Structure 1
Amino acid sequence: MKNKIKSLLKTYFITGLLVLLPLALTFWILNALLRNMEALIGDPIQQYLEIYIPGMGIMLLICLILLVGIFARNLIGRKLGHLGEMILNKIPLVRNIYTSIKQLINTLFLQGKDNFRGVVMVEYPRLGTYSLGFITGESRGEVQRITNEIIVNVFIPTTPNPTSGFLLLFPEKDIIHLHMTVEEGLKMIISGGMITPPDREVALPPGSKR
């Protein structure tokens, strides 16, 4: 009886940690980021303005980001941005860091939703072993003519950097389509499988339609 109670308390304690730790870490990280941004921008403002409202630094940072975005969308901004990238790409260490971060951000915010058409599971690199991949389209022309069947292009990213990977061509019959979104698939790959999306089929109530 004592062992059962001890085991039950241990289970409850671990469950509580699993619930509270992600929340605590999320708020801690957000709080640290906001404080740093406020200190970085707010302190110089306080030196020049007699009136200062808490949070003004963050608001100015948001406005600055919006202005940079507007400027980067016009012709002059694009040319200056291209020139800046050319300069950064000539600096060895900076080039590697900048390129990796840019590719990762583009994958998460741009490419994932626009270029990937769905998340699939394929047997790779051998039978009985499955890999997560993204459909990028159907192979046409010579590939389709030689194989004489529908061939699907599947991009299999590497972990934790999904900007690199392998392009594999699979017959459509060998592909297992998943219900998770592209964003969920990317999160699963980047986290190394630690973040797994819920099974939507199980979560649906009886009699409901997708």
Structure 2
Amino acid sequence: MKTFLNGLGLILPTALVLYILIWILKTTENFFGEVILFVLPKQYYITGLGLIAGIMIVFLVGLLLKFWIVQKIRDFFETLIDKMPLVNTLYGAIKDFFNFFSNLKNKENDIVVLVSLGALDAKIMGFITSRDLERFKFLDMEEPVVVYFQMSYQVGGYSLFIPKKNITFIDIKTEDALGFIMTAGISSSRKYDKKENKNEQS
């Protein structure tokens, strides 16, 4: 039985990752393939052209965003979206989400924190997502920051306003901390050492 479970423990996560990867590739191929068929006769279409076109378009968009005029066009469309109820909320949330997690490697030691749960004598790990809270002066807090607490094996989480004096920074790479939390501590056996007990210096 143990041998069977060991094999299952390898096959299931590998199969899930492959399934998600294949789904992404097939979706990209089908979408951009349909676009290509508008201008290219079907007999000349080769499987994989849609995927190649998708990758090239994403790369090209990223390259064009380095130019001032393209940035202005993007800002113009984002201004239009901001005026659309519900659409602006969804667009902004998705954009902010991807921006935050796409920059994990650049945020290794400055956002992972522990927050004490006094009554339980416990600590919970979270991520500082916002420090600039001038518009929330009404909170009547001393130097508040927003800390995001990811739920294990879930997409969602919670964001709380917490005074800086109540958080402790820990020496863990953000992506490692996220993986640790997402799997309820099961995915990693690394030893994480807490930094010296100190608060963030302004």
Normalising to structure 2: TM-score of the pair? 0.68
Secondary structure of the corresponding residue to residue 98 of structure 1: helix
The CA distance in 1 between the partners of 2:26 and 2:127, in whole Å, is: 38
Match of 1:139 in 2: none
The answer to whether the Cα contact below 8 Å between 1:121 and 1:133 also exists between their aligned partners in 2 is yes
Deviations 1:17-67 (A, max 9, x none): 222111101111111221121111124424514533321211111111111
Match of 1:18 in 2: 9
With over 3 angstroms needed to count, the CA separation of the structure-2 counterparts of 1:96 and 1:74, relative to structure 1, is same
Secondary structure of the corresponding residue to residue 198 of structure 1: coil
Secondary structure of the corresponding residue to residue 164 of structure 2: strand
Question: % of aligned pairs identical?
Answer: 27
1:181 counterpart = 2:167: no
The CA distance in 1 between the partners of 2:190 and 2:149, in whole Å, is: 25
Secondary structure of the corresponding residue to residue 199 of structure 1: coil
The CA distance in 1 between the partners of 2:8 and 2:159, in whole Å, is: 35
With over 3 angstroms needed to count, the CA separation of the structure-2 counterparts of 1:126 and 1:113, relative to structure 1, is farther
With over 3 angstroms needed to count, the CA separation of the structure-2 counterparts of 1:126 and 1:85, relative to structure 1, is farther
Aligned partner (choices 168, 180, 190) of residue 200 of structure 1: 190
Matches within 5 A, 1:43-122: 43-46=34-37, 48-49=40-41, 50-110=43-103, 113-114=106-107, 117=110, 119-122=112-115
The answer to whether the Cα contact below 8 Å between 2:29 and 2:50 also exists between their aligned partners in 1 is yes
The CA distance in 1 between the partners of 2:163 and 2:186, in whole Å, is: 24
1:170 counterpart = 2:200: no
Deviations 1:98-144 (A, max 9, x none): 111111111101266248525333313645121113479xxxxxxxx
With over 3 angstroms needed to count, the CA separation of the structure-2 counterparts of 1:197 and 1:167, relative to structure 1, is farther
Larger gyration radius, structure 1 or structure 2: 1
Amino acid at match of 2:4: F
How much is the aligned-residue C-alpha RMSD, in angstroms? 3.5
The CA distance in 2 between the partners of 1:120 and 1:196, in whole Å, is: 19
The answer to whether the Cα contact below 8 Å between 1:116 and 1:134 also exists between their aligned partners in 2 is no
The answer to whether the Cα contact below 8 Å between 1:133 and 1:154 also exists between their aligned partners in 2 is no
Match of 1:123 in 2: 116
Amino acid at match of 2:24: L
Normalising to structure 1: TM-score of the pair? 0.66
1:164 is displaced (CA, Å) by 3.9
With over 3 angstroms needed to count, the CA separation of the structure-2 counterparts of 1:162 and 1:105, relative to structure 1, is farther
1:39 counterpart = 2:30: yes
Higher share in helix: 1
Greater mean alpha carbon deviation, residues 44-53 or residues 22-31: 44-53
1:197 is displaced (CA, Å) by 4.8
